[in-house]
Amino acid sequence: MSRSTSAGRRTLSGRSASPAPRRRAAGVALAGVAALIAAAVQTGAASAAPARPVPGHADPAHRAVKLTPSQRAELLRDAEATKARTAHDLGLGAQEKLVVKDVVKDADGTLHTRYERTYAGLPVLGGDLIVDTAKSGRTERVVKAVKAALKVPTLTPRVSGAAAERQAVRQARALGGTRSAADGARKVIWAAGGKPVLAHETVIGGLQDDGTPNELHVITDATTGKELYRYQGVETGVGNTRYSGQVPLTTTLSGSTYTLNDGARGGHRTYNLNHGTSGTGTLFSQSSDTWGDGTNSNAATAGADAHYGAAVTWDFYKNTFGRNGIRNDGKAAYSRVHYGNAYVNAFWDDNCFCMTYGDGSGNADPLTSLDVAGHEMSHGVTSNTAGLNYSGESGGLNEATSDIFGTGVEFSANNAADPGDYLIGEKIDINGDGTPLRYMDKPSKDGASADYWSSSVGNKDVHYSSGVANHFFYLLSEGSGTKVINGVSYNSPTYDGLPVTGIGRDKALQIWYRALTTKFTSTTTYAGARTGTLAAAGELYGTSSAEYKAVQDAWAAVNVGSRSGGGGTGTTYESTADVSIPDNGPAVTSSITVSGRTGNAPSNLQVTVDIVHTWRGDLVIDLVGPSGTAYRLKNFSSTDSADDVHATYTVNASSEPANGTWKLRVQDQATYDTGYLDGWKLTFP
């Protein structure tokens, strides 16, 4: 399967293909409660009359210019850096903070910066606003979702969240819901009604009495218990797919027309290219909410498969890892089906942030099966995390990552028509002989993939060098030897002839994801993948755990590193003392004294840091060795607004004496957010 980049198209099976045309990224609509509400209740439209354009023509000065990703990122950084001043200039209250959401630039230099708001740390539903700034820097207008001043008399609810949840669940059941408890609840400020009030937002999922998925949002006044607002977040149709049977599809109804637009998952849309090879295609639209008939003669059948695959992939990442979309920003990619004529491939394209499927040989077998969808969209996740180079051993790891998560998607779907397995592309029969593309239990069964690492494995096509990591993942999940899983027989060998005991697919997925997102870099090799997954396993389950040892043994079983027996797992030195970090103040330090060791520190010294902080981007973190040399662990970032730092860093400290006083140095370099060092440790492998 493939990932398309500016260098050309990566093919599904490793076959050569003509270079892909460059595709420009398409705009993706923002999704979310606040945006939805703003469209319904916006009251702050500017009163100034716009300049008159030439009749029949848009004023070129007011056309939005296309921004490169770096230009957009720079504008967002500028907005982040000045948002406190902007809040002050807008006269917002002391407890209000702006959250930068988006920015648009006109040809005349005007900036339209979109913000959401929090109040005392609570999300404000209906608190979004847009600030228009002229090229000179003068604020021209402010458009608010509501005009009312944002202030509530108390942040202590008189009605408990549990009571609001029970009430919301009753409402859902009255509408045919089947759940006895909410799937989500949070305290919010409800401003969309005009007068801001403290409220509870409750989300109830499950199924309605006709089998339609339910996602009822109920806003309850936290003082009176009165229901303020409710809406159904899901419009669900029926998809008659080629590979997954009859499935529910989340769609959008506008007037009397349904479209394959999934508003519950970032606005994912599915388009019909109708055998074209460029552009977005035509959004699937029809008067009925039943899509396809399970055959290739109906164009919507492939659309249903693709739309379902995108939804299951989104849910897999969210439910398994807490990841909110491919870029983890809540915004969906889009899908295109019926690409080209008899195109035997499917590919992910970073340039358009989209997923594309061909119809297979003779246009008879669209490449829209569930594991293919999960595989291809996982290339987007890799691109937005580790960015593994698509060649050599890192390229094999890139492909294996998509096989691993594509397999996770298939298992998580729990679809009787396509049960989870460790076979890649078994449904689409791309080879025309009824065999899958790849086998994770014994990769060499495809005739080309590597079961084990060797010094030459990086010279293979990335689809075949991926076999080493695929085999590792299977062994880590299920263990070696013969077994039957969901009706499929497997027999996984090991390089050293010794057995491996699996830890289960769920734990193996968590280890791989953590390594991908916090340990792997663009140039990670198989040796580096071993180091990264061990670090991830150690952080998740402990360095003396069965999971940690299983990672060692599974890598040894594919000829990467040694087994877990005989060597120990290293020595750890720890400080658990809390140290306050002053807001935009001087650096603070915490010390650990190491003694009783010989020689210098290792080249892979592990530094584990736990910091509680409300804006981790403010923090700069250094390790200071006994010699006084500082090793930068984390840089300042004005755009990293997440809470806390819980990470393990690898430091080449081989020029430092092992014994002596080691220090962790932390400095907060921006105002308004505070926190403390909760502890840290050094691990000598």
Please check whether residues 115 and 102 belong to one and the same domain: yes
- Judged against a pLDDT cut of 70, whether residue 123 lies above it is answered with yes
Please check whether residues 391 and 361 belong to one and the same domain: no
CATH number for position 445: 1.10.390.10
CATH number for position 317: 3.10.170.10
- pLDDT score at 63: 61
- pLDDT score at 378: 95
Q: Which carries the bigger pLDDT value, residue 627 or residue 102?
A: 627
Reply yes or no on whether 463 is catalytic.
yes
- Least confident segment among 14-18, 299-303, 375-379, 421-425: 14-18
- pLDDT score at 304: 97
Examine residue 53 and state whether it is found in any structural domain, yes or no: no
- pLDDT score at 90: 86
3-state secondary structure of 400: helix
Cα separation, 533 vs 322, in Å, equals 19
- pLDDT score at 14: 54
Provide the token pair at 504.
Answer: 């289960």
Provide the token pair at 674.
Answer: 């505070």
Contact predicate 616/642, CB 8 Å: yes
pLDDT digits (tens, 9 = 90+) for 488-545: 999 999 988 889 999 999 999 999 998 999 888 877 889 889 988 998 998 889 888 9
- pLDDT score at 353: 94
Residue that is last in its domain, among 384, 415, 438: 384
Residue in the structure block whose two tokens are 């500016």: 6
- For a pLDDT cut of 70, what percent of the chain falls above it? 86
- pLDDT score at 39: 28
Cα separation, 169 vs 74, in Å, equals 44
Examine residue 151 and state whether it is found in any structural domain, yes or no: no
Please name the residues in contact with 551: beta carbons below 8 A apart, sequence gap of 6 or more: 476, 511, 530, 533, 534, 537
- Least confident segment among 5-19, 313-327, 472-486, 596-610: 5-19
259-288 mean pLDDT: 95
Indicate the pLDDT class of residue 54, thresholds 50, 70 and 90: very low
Examine residue 150 and state whether it is found in any structural domain, yes or no: no
Indicate the pLDDT class of residue 595, thresholds 50, 70 and 90: confident
- Judged against a pLDDT cut of 80, whether residue 328 lies above it is answered with yes
Could you tell me which of 87, 113, 118 has the C-alpha nearest to residue 100? 113
Contact predicate 590/645, CB 8 Å: no
Please check whether residues 87 and 140 belong to one and the same domain: yes
- pLDDT score at 55: 46
- Least confident segment among 37-41, 185-189, 325-329: 37-41
Could you tell me which of 373, 132, 380, 331 has the C-alpha nearest to residue 241? 373
If one counts the domains in the chain, the total is 5
- pLDDT score at 185: 84
Cα separation, 388 vs 123, in Å, equals 35
Please check whether residues 511 and 615 belong to one and the same domain: no
- Judged against a pLDDT cut of 80, whether residue 172 lies above it is answered with no
- pLDDT score at 210: 39
Please check whether residues 525 and 597 belong to one and the same domain: no
Provide the token pair at 414.
Answer: 């729990």
279-306 mean pLDDT: 95
Average pLDDT value for the chain: 84
CATH number for position 226: 3.10.450.40
- Identify the domain containing residue 254 by its residue range: 1-25+244-384
Contact predicate 444/358, CB 8 Å: no
Please check whether residues 333 and 393 belong to one and the same domain: no
Contact predicate 212/249, CB 8 Å: no
Please check whether residues 399 and 376 belong to one and the same domain: no
Active-site residue, from 376, 399, 478, 539: 376
Burial 502-511 (b: 16+ CB within 10 A, else e): bbebebbbbb
Please check whether residues 528 and 562 belong to one and the same domain: yes
CATH number for position 659: 2.60.120.260
Examine residue 220 and state whether it is found in any structural domain, yes or no: yes
Could you tell me which of 190, 179, 125 has the C-alpha nearest to residue 157? 190
- pLDDT score at 207: 54
Relative to beta strand 588-594, strand 630-634 is unpaired
Active-site residue, from 375, 463, 471, 613: 463
Helices (H), 198-335: 299-321
Examine residue 152 and state whether it is found in any structural domain, yes or no: no
- Helix crossing, 370-383 with 392-413: angle to 10°? 130
Amino acid in position 610: D
Cα separation, 228 vs 41, in Å, equals 14
Please check whether residues 253 and 227 belong to one and the same domain: no
Examine residue 363 and state whether it is found in any structural domain, yes or no: yes
- pLDDT score at 610: 86
- pLDDT score at 351: 82
DSSP string, 469-529: HHHHHHHHHH-SEEEEETTEEEEE--TTS-------HHHHHHHHHHHHHHT--TT--HHHH
Please check whether residues 105 and 18 belong to one and the same domain: no
- Helix crossing, 467-478 with 526-541: angle to 10°? 30
pTM: predicted TM-score of the whole model, two decimal places? 0.55
Residue that is last in its domain, among 89, 111, 144: 144
- pLDDT score at 232: 53
- Judged against a pLDDT cut of 50, whether residue 7 lies above it is answered with no
Please name the residues in contact with 289: beta carbons below 8 A apart, sequence gap of 6 or more: 235, 236, 237, 238, 251, 253, 258
Examine residue 561 and state whether it is found in any structural domain, yes or no: yes
pLDDT digits (tens, 9 = 90+) for 644-670: 888 888 899 999 999 999 999 999 999
Indicate the pLDDT class of residue 11, thresholds 50, 70 and 90: very low
Please check whether residues 413 and 529 belong to one and the same domain: yes
Please check whether residues 540 and 553 belong to one and the same domain: yes
Neighbouring-strand partners of residue 76: none
Amino acid in position 436: P
Examine residue 446 and state whether it is found in any structural domain, yes or no: yes
Q: If you compute the radius of gyration of the chain from its CA atoms, what whole number of angstroms results? A: 27
Residue that is last in its domain, among 144, 178, 202: 144
- Judged against a pLDDT cut of 50, whether residue 1 lies above it is answered with yes
Please name the residues in contact with 101: beta carbons below 8 A apart, sequence gap of 6 or more: 30, 114, 115, 116, 128
Strand locations in 282-398, DSSP E?
Answer: 282-283, 285-286, 290-291, 334-339, 346-349, 354-358
CATH number for position 85: 3.10.450.490
Could you tell me which of 556, 559, 527 has the C-alpha nearest to residue 453? 559
